Amino acid sequence: MKLELRRIHIKDIQLGDKTEVKGGVLTVNEEELISKLKEDERVKEVKIDIARPGEKVRIIPVKDVIEPRVKIEGAGNGFPGVTTKMAQLGEGKVNVLHGAAVVTVGDIVGFQEGVIDMWGEGAKWTPFSKTYNLVVDIVPVEGLDPHAHEATVRAVGLKAAELIGEAGRDVEPDEVLTYEIGSNAEETAKYPDLPKVLYVEMLISQGLLHDGYIYGVNSQNILPTLMHPNEELDGAVISGNCVAACDKITTYQHQNNSVILDLYAQHGKTINFMGVILTPELTTLEGKFRTCDYTAKLCKMIGADGVIISEEGYGNPDSDLLMICKRLEDAGIKTVLITDECSGWDGMSQPLADTAKEAVAVVSGGNVSHVVTLPPADKVIGNAKAIETLAGGWDGSLEEDGTIKCELNAVIGSTSEIGYHNLTAKLY
């Protein structure tokens, strides 16, 4: 499969009469966008706002972040299985509005949405303080059950990104990134002496609004699945969960999965990158044994010499991470784990809910319990009071002057377990 991501560098977002990109500026027709989004009968109201890097703007409670794109050659525009008809992704040419993001906010249904600060202390903890954000505030109609409410908000966000992405259809890119890997047999023939490396990506699959989706299929309902890395880069995997904001893998992060990009950078040089296995994180013991055994089986069948495993969430999924690690190491396959830690405010508590002596190579994305103080914003998009009911916040987190004190738990992408951020931890 060969995929071209053709980046159009976005340097600003404005509202105007026509949705278009000129000179690196994305202009959005607000009324037209709202009208199209309200074609969904589940939507009562939509508000559009803009947040730029460096502005003293706070966005809360954030549900998802999506990169606007358009497929100009090949199958599968939008998000097949969700916003468009099913199509095989991973090949063709995609124009990407790089530097822009659609950020969705709305009423809290679960406890685990998040906050983005575009400036100051808060900005250094989230990667989305560096993007030009078109914020879509969605109010569904009354009477929807929680799952339908969440499905509505997330689908509307994806649709907004798809509609805005169309502005880049006829724009020449500033850079073109090409990703190409053939069949396992072809790549092994090309690089017979390089170690074969697989990437196992664990996805929250716990129900109760805690699920990822692959081509529109809830990951609760799959066995571990082998995919070409290009499929994820092309939009096959989306966020559908409200797991703790710090390590929620947003749709934007799936579209730009940093583990995949790093493995691609080493493909044909130091490793032979063999593909991605998407593994659901289930809550039952039977489910954990099934998915962990099946994941290890796939790795052995493909002949992996090494496996990178990334987690989503913490606590319950820690056991899956360590169970997969043990099975692979016992089979002679070297593993590297990417996780984060829930180590308490002082950083001294047990970081993971489970452990295994086989876990000898572990990358930390930071401590989710680390407490930060976020100064008052000049402008809040959404509802700052929401911090008191978010994971990582508490009654009293929001002070009278607008200052927020919270754990990194509440900051979107702050301890990303696919490494899409700037935080780690030291071993003393």
Q: Is the C-alpha dihedral spanning 319, 293, 216, 176 positive or negative?
A: positive
Q: Catalytic site residues?
A: 242
CA gap 64, 348 in Å, rounded: 31
Q: Are 275 and 188 in contact (CB under 8 A)?
A: no
CA gap 310, 281 in Å, rounded: 11
Q: Which residues make Cβ contacts (< 8 Å) with residue 70, sequence separation at least 6?
A: 77, 94, 95, 162, 165, 166, 167, 168, 169
Closest of 52, 73, 243 to residue 173, by C-alpha: 73
- Token pair, residue 349, equals 């508590």
Q: Which residues pair with 339 in a beta bridge?
A: 364
Q: Which residues make Cβ contacts (< 8 Å) with residue 295, sequence separation at least 6?
A: 200, 224, 277, 279, 324, 327
Closest of 222, 210, 198, 393 to residue 317, by C-alpha: 210
Q: Are 241 and 204 in contact (CB under 8 A)?
A: yes
Half-sphere exposure of 25 (CA within 13 A, CB side): 7
